[in-house]
Amino acid sequence: MDYEKESEMLKALGHPVRLKMVEGLMKNECNVNKIVDVMQIPQSTASQHLGILKNRGILVARKEGVKTCYKVVDEKVLQIVKILRA
Amino acid sequence: MDYEKESEMLKALGHPVRLKMVEGLMKNECNVNKIVDVMQIPQSTASQHLGILKNRGILVARKEGVKTCYKVVDEKVLQIVKILRA
DNA sequence: TTCAAATATTGTATTATCTGGATAAAGTGA
DNA sequence: TCACTTTATCCAGATAATACAATATTTGAA
């Protein structure tokens, strides 16, 4: 068990904004701007949190023209969020 | 979904020492001193991390004479750690 | 090109967390 | 009571995380 790496992942999820982002992106892949609107946070703040989630390998980004589409790709993260919902 | 509370729980797990503690306490209930020895960390550091986990409701403490026995009681935490192991 | 939209990056002040030594508190046995 | 063990708490310095304005970059369209 790699505690360093695994706790990094949990720490990334351990922020209300990021947790909400991940949950939102599980339902709806391409909604970066929507997230900014819905969450009522500055664009730079949103972008930084998305960057953290991407660096941890929780999200991947795909460019679609001028827009960026984020998607949750970490299988364990998907399971963890499902557990939280239960 | 209460993002504040849930991210608090994930943040508590999002530290290598605490994650290792939780895993250890899942296997072996009463081993505070053993954790200190095995993890090679100062007693005060261990006690503080245990306090954080207790405050978040992840652990409960039971006094047995001069010793304190910690146990993992959060069902979701148990499930999350199992997912990490898988 | 030039412009606007979408997103990323940078700078920085603020706040939170971590660590570990020192000390306190509480139980136990001599 | 005294010494000892175990655990908790306090404190301060070091480090890390956070928020957000300002600025830069990227892309597509006119």
Task: State the virtual CA torsion across A12, A72, A57, B19 in degrees, nearest 10.
Answer: 40
Q: How many CB atoms lie within 10 A of CB A80?
A: 24
- To the nearest whole Å, the CA of A83 is away from the closest chain B CA by 7
| Per-residue pLDDT reduced to its tens digit, B17-56 | 999 999 999 988 777 788 899 899 999 999 999 999 999 9
Q: Write out pLDDT tens, residues A8-62.
A: 999 999 999 999 999 999 988 777 788 899 899 999 999 999 999 999 999 999 9
Å: A83 CA to D9 C1' = 35
Q: How far is CA A79 from the centre of its chain?
A: 14
Does strand C come within 7 Å of the CB of B56? Answer: no
In chain B, residues with a C-beta closer than 8 Å to the C-beta of A19 are 3, 6-7, 10
A22 contact partners, CB below 8 Å, separation of at least 6 = A13, A53, A58, A59, A72, A77, A81
Average the pLDDT over A63-78 and give the result: 95
Confirm whether any atom of chain C, the nucleic acid strand, is less than 7 Å from CB of A10. no
Instruction: Measure the CA–CA gap between A73 and B24, rounded to whole angstroms.
Output: 29
Q: Which residues of B touch A79 (CB under 8 A)?
A: 83
Which residues are paired to A60 by β-bridges? A71
B1, pLDDT greater than 90: no
A6-22 pLDDT per residue, tens: 999 999 999 999 999 99
| pLDDT value of position A30 | 72
